[in-house]
Amino acid sequence: PKKKSYVDFPIMPKHPREEDQVDQKKDSIDDPETVLVHPSIAEGAVSVPGSKSISNRVLLLAALGNGKCKVSGLLHSDDTEVMLLALKKMGVQYSWNDTKEVLSIQGSGGKLSLPDSELYMKNAGTATRFLSTAVNLIQEKGSVVVTGNERMKVRPIADLVDALKATGCDIEYKEGKGCPPILVTTTPNGWKGGEIVLAANVSSQYVSSILISASYAREPVTLRLDDRGEGVCSRPYIDITIDLLKKFGIDIKEEGQNVFRVGNKGFENKSDWYVEGDASSASYPLALAAVTGGKVTVNNCGNESIQGDAAFCRILEKMGCSVQQTEGTTTVTGPKDYKLKAIEGDVDMDSMTDLFMTLAAVAAVSDGTTRIVNIANQRVKECNRIEAMVQELTKLEVKCKELETGIEITGNPALRNRSKDKIVFIDPRDDHRLAMSFAVVGAAMPGIAITEKSCVNKTYPTFWAHAQSLGLNVKAGGTAVKKQKTSK
């Protein structure tokens, strides 16, 4: 099916740094939020943080289930922090062990409480969408506001809201139509559930949102996905949700194409749950090995991962890297002569859209032209990622252009020899994935400085320390980033 392009998506404003007034701020390598990356060889092993996708799903599932669930391997980041704070406001009790490695959650049995203030989700799209359904389970008369920062307020949620309103939910937009903040009026009857038709061509998070809360609806849920002739967006993330629901003992069946039935008898929490490493985060240290001719092992993400992004290493293999994968680990060795080659034909990244920027970073120093397609939903993420990638690579004199559903990059291996004194400042637009992708570029190309380094805290707070531990020469504000032992 033809994929939606989002080229003319009406509600995406320019990033504030693109406006004229930002010219008043001069980029400087002495800024403590700016990281200067020098080319070097990446060698070693890291354990990446727990999967964001799994962490937020497990947190909400454990909060809804009956009984206590002990979660280990959880991602410690901005996104999981806002989810936990929101759950706490809705009466969910939890506590950490002394080392903050295990979180004990006391499930609510689907009985969430009315919060006494708004649920502020920062720019956490997953948590915002998941809770937009869950708050309708509250069996009290009142109202809940689900909101976020300025960027979250222009991220789409209309298809989910439309589907929920069709089941009787009372939801209003407080500001821009089709985006948060939303005002949800709750009733003593909770959420009806029942037959639901959901447009699923914009975000898989809408689908997961309904499936996760369905067990506590008044009626069994039958969810039919309408792909509007464009295909269901990011199906692997829906598969992660289905896998987790089954492991939590929830009665879910897929009947026919894109039709899901979920029972409404609730579920008992698993007593213990381990969150595997984040396959999206793993792409960055693996890509560092690819572009530097090094060898990097990710200790906690392998071929038994339930995340579609765990297959990214196979793309690097096609570009000339050596790959070894076990059930729980992935090792990538980059070519010693640095000769990476573009993949012929279109690279369809519909199954791992978030990683197109990692591939674009590798493609920038590869020989040939790389065409990445079916990633159009990346135009409505933390920023317009396709546009941002084109703009920032162009600063480095990499030839690239936007496609209807993707991006084309013509690699220039000669840029490995560009002058280190010609500093180019990369603006990640407060987007964690943009910042980490350009760290990969900087490992191969001299003279790259990345601003807003703390934006990686959204999913990978230890990224810069991990990069340093792998041998990268990384300096923040003119000072080397502190190394950290990470291979255990």
pLDDT along the chain (488 residues), means of 10: 46 36 58 94 98 96 98 93 98 96 98 98 95 98 97 94 98 95 98 96 94 98 93 91 97 94 97 96 98 98 95 98 97 97 96 96 98 93 94 98 97 96 95 97 97 95 97 83 50
Active-site hit among 79, 276, 387, 431 = 79
Active-site option among 432, 452, 453, 466:
432
DSSP state of 304: T
The reported pLDDT for the residue numbered 131 is 98
Q: Which pLDDT score, from 0 to 100, does residue 482 have?
A: 56
Active-site residue identified among 433, 452, 453, 466: 433
230, 278, 309, 382: the catalytic one is 382
Spell out a b/e string for 12-26, using b for 16 or more CB atoms within 10 Å of the CB, else e.
Answer: beebebeeeeeeeee
- State the catalytic residue, choosing from 15, 56, 123, 276: 123
Q: Specify whether 384 is catalytic.
A: no
Distance between CA atoms of residues 484 and 46, nearest Å: 10
DSSP alpha helix (H) spans, 248-292: 279-292
Question: At 41, is the secondary structure helix, strand, or coil?
Answer: coil
Q: Is 433 a catalytic residue?
A: yes
Contact 456, 75 (CB under 8 A): no
Distances in Å between the Cα of 209 and the Cα atoms of 166, 205, 281 are 15, 6, 23
Taking the C-alpha atoms of residue 152 and residue 118, their distance in angstroms, rounded to an integer, is 15
Does residue 375 sit in helix, strand or coil? coil
Q: Are the beta carbons of 305 and 238 closer than 8 angstroms? A: no
| Annotation says 278 is catalytic | no
For residue 261, the Cα-to-chain-centroid distance in whole angstroms is: 27
Q: List alpha helices for 370-455, DSSP H.
A: 385-395, 432-442
- Pairing mode of beta strands 259-262, 219-226: antiparallel
Distance CA(54)–CA(67), nearest Å, equals 20
Catalytic member of 4, 57, 385, 458: 458
pLDDT given for residue 382 in this prediction: 87
Concerning whether 33 is annotated as a catalytic residue, the answer is: no
Catalytic residue status for 174 = no
d(Cα 207, Cα 303) in Å, to the nearest integer? Answer: 25
CB < 8 Å & 24+ apart, contacts of 147-150: 147/118, 147/119, 147/120, 147/121, 147/174, 147/180, 147/181, 147/182, 148/120, 148/121, 148/122, 148/123, 148/124, 148/180, 148/181, 149/122, 149/123
23: annotated active-site residue: no
Q: Is residue 79 annotated as part of the catalytic site, yes or no? A: yes
Q: Which amino acid is at 153?
A: K
Q: What is the pTM of this model?
A: 0.87
**What's the pLDDT at 34?**
96
Given this model, what pLDDT does residue 118 score?
98
